[in-house]
């Protein structure tokens, strides 16, 4: 009982069955299941199991690449279902990307989708984004926040470089910095002078709202 179809989505994600996942997701929507639940308990849960297996040497890079692509396509389908129809002005403008040298984009893309759904205007610069690209896009679109994702311990330092460039360009009073990704922690975020850190997409949305003054606290 319960969300059998969610269990199926998770399992097919683990088995890297792209087509089956992409067939099941619309069915889950038809059954009235909340799109956020599908992302959280189906798609993301599956990728996490696969990620654990990868770390134990029980899954391989091509499988993870397939899962990443499946996630991307599923998110594209789900985005209109995630979006609440609201005519309010955007809560603020966010430039997001994965830092230079890093091609992991699953978590970043989920965060970007959820920020969009929450009502922010989001410019997703993709992966391997240099500090200069983050800063120049933020200037161009008059961004409130730069959100950076890093999954490699070797690429986390690019976050600090971006913060420093922002200071050099005298944009640090205007643009807030939010960071995340598996190796990133609150301590690390504090040490580089970031304004916010989020462990997952829920926190990312909360922090973005706090940083733009959309919520108190
Ligand atoms: C999937 C994956 C891949 C896929 C990536 C596909 C893609 N398109 O993204 C592929 C197969 C391509 C890949 C490649 C590599 N990978 Co890899 N990969 C992973 C894996 C298994 C899962 C990552 C993932 O997507 N998780 C699921 C998502 C949903 O979670 P998430 O990214 O953490 O995001 C959530 C939060 O962190 C947060 N968040 C994320 N970003 C942001 C941003 C902000 C602003 C906020 C607030 C929050 C936030 O919210 C997200 C959603 O809730 C991890 C293992 C792990 N434990 O993380 C290894 C891992 C990150 N990879 C690793 C390595 C070493 C590599 C390679 C170097 C391997 C190689 N030998 O070639 C290459 C990297 C090449 C490069 N230059 O980047 C290592 C890193 C080790 C380290 N300490 O640095 C890990 C930890 C695995 C391991 N233990 O060895 N990888």
Q: Residue 36: its pLDDT value, please?
A: 87
Claim to verify: residue 45 and residue 141 sit in the same structural domain: no
Q: Residue 3: its pLDDT value, please?
A: 81
Please report the atom of ligand 1 found closest to the CA of residue 104: 9
Cα of 43 from ligand 1 centre, angstroms:
15
- Please indicate, yes or no, if residue 190 is contained in any of the structural domains: yes
Q: Please choose from 47, 104, 181 the residue to mutate so as to test ligand 1's pocket, defined by most ligand atoms within 8 A of CB.
A: 104
Cα of 108 from ligand 1 centre, angstroms:
10
Residue 13 structure tokens: 């994600």
Determine the Cα–Cα distance for residues 160 and 135; give it in Å rounded to an integer: 12
Domain boundary among 62, 82, 102: 82
Model pTM score: 0.88
Helix (H/G/I), strand (E/B), else coil: 163: helix
Q: Residue 170: its pLDDT value, please?
A: 94
Q: Atom 50 of ligand 1 has which residue's CA nearest to it?
A: 200
Cα of 18 from ligand 1 centre, angstroms:
19
Please report the atom of ligand 1 found closest to the CA of residue 208: 47
The pLDDT profile of the chain, 217 residues, written as one tens digit per residue, is 458 999 999 999 999 999 999 999 999 999 999 898 999 899 999 988 988 898 899 988 888 889 989 999 999 999 888 866 354 567 899 999 999 999 999 899 989 988 988 889 999 999 999 999 999 999 999 999 999 999 999 999 999 999 999 999 999 999 999 999 999 999 999 999 999 999 998 899 999 999 998 775 4
Q: Please choose from 107, 108, 125, 177 the residue to mutate so as to test ligand 1's pocket, defined by most ligand atoms within 8 A of CB.
A: 107
- Please indicate, yes or no, if residue 217 is contained in any of the structural domains: no
Q: What is the CATH number of the domain that holds 63?
A: 1.10.1240.10
Claim to verify: residue 109 and residue 203 sit in the same structural domain: yes
Domain boundary among 23, 47, 82: 82
- Please indicate, yes or no, if residue 201 is contained in any of the structural domains: yes
Cα of 98 from ligand 1 centre, angstroms:
10
- Please indicate, yes or no, if residue 216 is contained in any of the structural domains: no
Enclosing domain of residue 10: 4-82
> Is 209 near ligand 1, meaning CB less than 6 Å away?
no
Cα of 4 from ligand 1 centre, angstroms:
28
Q: Could you tell me whether strands 145-149 and 93-98 are parallel, antiparallel, or unpaired per DSSP bridges?
A: parallel
Which residue, chain included where needed, has tokens 């789900």?
78
Provide the number of structural domains found in the chain: 2
Exposed, middle or buried, 4 (CB in 10 Å: 0-12/13-18/19+)? exposed
Helix crossing, 45-55 with 4-14: angle to 10°? 30
Domain boundary among 82, 114, 137: 82
Exposed, middle or buried, 19 (CB in 10 Å: 0-12/13-18/19+)? exposed
Q: Residue 87: its pLDDT value, please?
A: 44
Q: Residue 89: its pLDDT value, please?
A: 62
Q: Residue 51: its pLDDT value, please?
A: 85
Long-range pairs for 87-91: beta carbons < 8 A, 24 or more residues apart: 88/119, 90/119, 90/120, 90/121, 91/118, 91/119, 91/120, 91/208, 91/209, 91/212, 91/214
């Amino acid at each position: 009982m319960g969300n059998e179809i969610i269990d199926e989505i998770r399992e097919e994600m683990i088995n890297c069955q792209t087509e089956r996942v992409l067939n099941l997701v619309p069915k889950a929507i038809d059954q009235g299941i909340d799109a956020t639940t599908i992302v959280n308990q189906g798609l993301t849960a599956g990728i996490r199991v696969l990620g654990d297996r990868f770390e134990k040497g029980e899954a391989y890079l091509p499988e993870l690449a397939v899962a990443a692509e499946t996630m991307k396509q599923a998110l594209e389908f789900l985005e209109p279902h995630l979006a609440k129809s609201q005519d309010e002005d955007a809560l603020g403008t966010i430039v997001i990307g994965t830092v230079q040298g890093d091609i992991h984009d699953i978590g970043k893309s989920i965060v970007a989708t959820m920020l969009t759904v929450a009502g922010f205007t989001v410019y997703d610069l993709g992966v391997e984004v240099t500090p200069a690209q983050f800063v120049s896009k933020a200037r161009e679109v008059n961004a409130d926040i730069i959100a950076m994702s890093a999954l490699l311990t070797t690429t986390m330092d690019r976050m600090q470089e971006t913060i420093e460039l922002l200071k050099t360009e005298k944009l640090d009073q205007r643009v807030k910095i939010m960071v995340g990704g598996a190796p990133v922690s609150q301590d690390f975020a504090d040490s580089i002078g970031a304004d916010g850190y989020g462990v997952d997409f829920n926190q990312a949305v909360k922090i973005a709202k706090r940083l733009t003054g959309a919520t108190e606290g």
